[in-house]
Structure 1
Amino acid sequence: MNLKSKQAILMGLASALLFSITFIVNRLMSVSGGSWVWSSVLRFYWMLPFFFLIVGLKKGVTPLFREIAARPLQWLLWSTVGFGLFYAPLTFAAAYTPSWLIAGTWQFTIIAGLLVAPFINRKGTNVRTGHHSALLYSGIILLGIVVMQAREAISLPPEKVIKGAVPVLVAAFAYPLGNRKMMQVTNGRLDVYQRILGMVLCSLPFWLILTTGEIVLSKAGPSPGQYAQTLVVAIFSGVLATALFFSATDKVSADEKGLAAVEATQSAEVLFALAGEVILLGSPLPDLYALGGMALAMLGMILHSLES
């Protein structure tokens, strides 16, 4: 493993720790009666001033606007996919399943990243090297997810399983697809912070539609604690974790195997989310099946890391 790959994997693990806060706080907001829509939209509204400040201090706002103006439809489409269709389904699922279970299902994003790669067709990318071994290791992670979910799926009503699992699977494809397509669209002309700010800006129509729909249909605003809770998620997950993860993928953007390894680090989220839910929310420990599934998912991540 070269130095760049090691750095990318460590950054990916750090982002996984910070991302796990999303699952825990979203679950906390859900069990407290907060609407999943406000949990989604407030995070991105909070992110906007933070990234405007960061990019503004680096004098990168004008170059970003030029990039968006040159390809507005691509920015709107892939920002909506990468942020909107990623995060809204996760907060929706939090209303139905524990945070560690959502974090476990979310690991399908590792498989999703490999599946979407041939359709993205990025020039100059090492797609074939180690592709079969990456699929094998990702398959181990997928097996772990299935084992982890099996007992829980049997004990829950089918409606809750569908509402908890299907949205997370949508998010699992949307996040790597949106991220990789935006790397292709920008082609190194923007730094990580500019790219994130641009994606937040261009996903705003999606968030405004959700906001309007929630106001019209429920005629209710956020719960009292949601402003502070979504601010916590925005800082730790939206700003710090997203910047770390995007920086990690940028480091290995020319190597499909390296990208798969970085995306595999996100399997650590399930352990962080489990620990957080047990400690902070007083949730019971999962059974042996779930723990065995987590062990398989972690094994797949370790193999990815050693191979990269």
Structure 2
Amino acid sequence: MTRLIVFGILAAFFFSSTFVLNRAMSLEGGHWAWTASLRYGYMLLLLCTWLLLKGRRGVLIAAWDAFRRNWLFWTTAGSVGCGAFYALISFSASFAPGWVVATTWQITILATPVVLLLFGRRVPARGVLFTAMIFLGIVLVTLEQATAAPLGDILRGVVPVVAAAFAYPLGNQMVWEARHGTSSLLPAITDPVVDDSFGRVLLMVLGSIPFWVVLLIVAAPPPPSPGQLVNTALVAVFSGVIATSLFLHARHCASTTYELAAIDATQSTEVIFSLLGEIVFLHGALPGSSGTAGLVLVVGGLMLYVRAQTAGPLKEMVHSRAEKG
């Protein structure tokens, strides 16, 4: 159990690099459109290279065939779950510190049940109080920022993150629904490559490419600096490869609902790592009393929320084992 928690915290550490490096690129004058699109360009290159080095060329071919057969679906899902999600996150870094973006991003745990409801899925009612704690924490963090920046900048730094928090689970749920053929609005995807985790990620990244091309044409940003090219590559490696691999490995090794909940809860430490990273590397200021209270509420609420969502299943599992014994 301890080893899995360590993996989860390490994953959160590398995930937090996204918020710190995005903020660094923004402060250096890098355009947010390049920050977003370059990451996925690097991810496509890294995924293809990894699969080739592992002798899994068949996954590349199968993913491309699957993409061609349902190009409209994959373009839509990729544009929402990768494109809109990360473009909004990158945009917000131009107006808000990384730790504020990381804190606001935690609202995705509240957005996920809403997305599930949109697809007609049942959502447990447990944990409502803790979702309120998380929301209050985000409000406190936002209010503290409001005293240090114009209202327009605060809204541009927070609202896009809230929208991104809905776009990310929406894109992923679209893939889940299509994979299981349970939605009348989406095609039933039966390609075997969709059952492969690398195959699914590759299809989502491929689907996002048209979004990035259109974004760069519309935004018409100046050429990226050498520093932005390096930093976006680091984000792709740290967050897209290392963090994702650690997190998925920890979840794969979990054997109980309790362990899964504990691993998911470790992701709340992204907020703390983002704050420390901004202070150490970007000379950011420590949050005041309102911001600190908000951080405590968000992290604590997230951990309690995950526990509440799994308390029922865990109790049922223990009770079932007791009856069998």
For the aligned pair, the TM-score class normalised by the smaller chain equals: 0.7 to 0.9
SS in 1 for 2:111: helix
The one of 36, 39, 47 aligned to 1:40: 36
- In structure 1, what is the equivalent of residue 228 of structure 2? 226
Distance 1:26 1:100 in 2: 11
Cα drift, residue 182 of structure 1: 1.6
**Would you say the 8 A contact 2:261–2:306 is kept in 1?**
no
Distance 1:109 1:260 in 2: 16
The answer on 1:150 being equivalent to 2:143 is: yes
- In structure 1, what is the equivalent of residue 61 of structure 2? 62
Cα drift, residue 10 of structure 1: 6.5
- In structure 1, what is the equivalent of residue 241 of structure 2? 239
**Would you say the 8 A contact 2:98–2:278 is kept in 1?**
yes
TM-score norm. by structure 1 comes to: 0.84
Q: How does 1:127-276 map to 2 (within 5 A)?
A: 127-128=122-123, 131-187=124-180, 189-214=194-219, 217-218=220-221, 220-244=222-246, 265-276=266-277
- In structure 1, what is the equivalent of residue 282 of structure 2? 281
- In structure 2, what is the equivalent of residue 16 of structure 1? 12
The residue type paired with residue 286 of structure 2 is L
- In structure 2, what is the equivalent of residue 76 of structure 1? 75
Change (3 A) 1:79 1:251: farther
Distance 2:248 2:78 in 1: 14
SS in 2 for 1:133: coil
Give the CA RMSD over aligned residues.
Answer: 2.8
Cα drift, residue 258 of structure 1: 9.9
The residue type paired with residue 181 of structure 1 is M
Identity of aligned residues (%): 37
Cα drift, residue 201 of structure 1: 0.8
Q: Deviations over 1:269-288 (max 9, x none)?
A: 11110010011111111011
**Range that drifts further, 69-78 or 238-247:** 238-247
Cα drift, residue 301 of structure 1: 2.1
Distance 1:62 1:113 in 2: 32
User: How many residues get paired?
Assistant: 291
Change (3 A) 1:303 1:157: same
SS in 2 for 1:155: coil
TM-score norm. by structure 2 comes to: 0.80
Cα drift, residue 259 of structure 1: 8.9
Change (3 A) 1:22 1:250: same
Change (3 A) 1:30 1:156: same
The residue type paired with residue 174 of structure 1 is A
SS in 1 for 2:225: coil
**Would you say the 8 A contact 1:55–1:194 is kept in 2?**
no
Higher Cα Rg, which structure? 2
Cα drift, residue 69 of structure 1: 3.3
Distance 1:43 1:142 in 2: 29
Distance 2:259 2:110 in 1: 14
Distance 1:105 1:276 in 2: 17
Change (3 A) 1:165 1:80: same
**Would you say the 8 A contact 1:137–1:301 is kept in 2?**
yes
**Gaps in structure 1 of 5+ consecutive residues:** none
Cα drift, residue 251 of structure 1: 9.0
**Would you say the 8 A contact 1:18–1:236 is kept in 2?**
yes
**Would you say the 8 A contact 1:96–1:163 is kept in 2?**
yes
Q: Deviations over 1:255-276 (max 9, x none)?
A: 9x99998765433211110010
Cα drift, residue 49 of structure 1: 1.3
Distance 2:74 2:235 in 1: 24
The answer on 1:298 being equivalent to 2:281 is: no
Distance 1:15 1:241 in 2: 4
- In structure 1, what is the equivalent of residue 101 of structure 2? 102
- In structure 1, what is the equivalent of residue 48 of structure 2? 52
**Gaps in structure 2 of 5+ consecutive residues:** 181-191, 311-325
Change (3 A) 1:246 1:196: farther
Change (3 A) 1:293 1:205: same
**Would you say the 8 A contact 1:261–1:304 is kept in 2?**
no
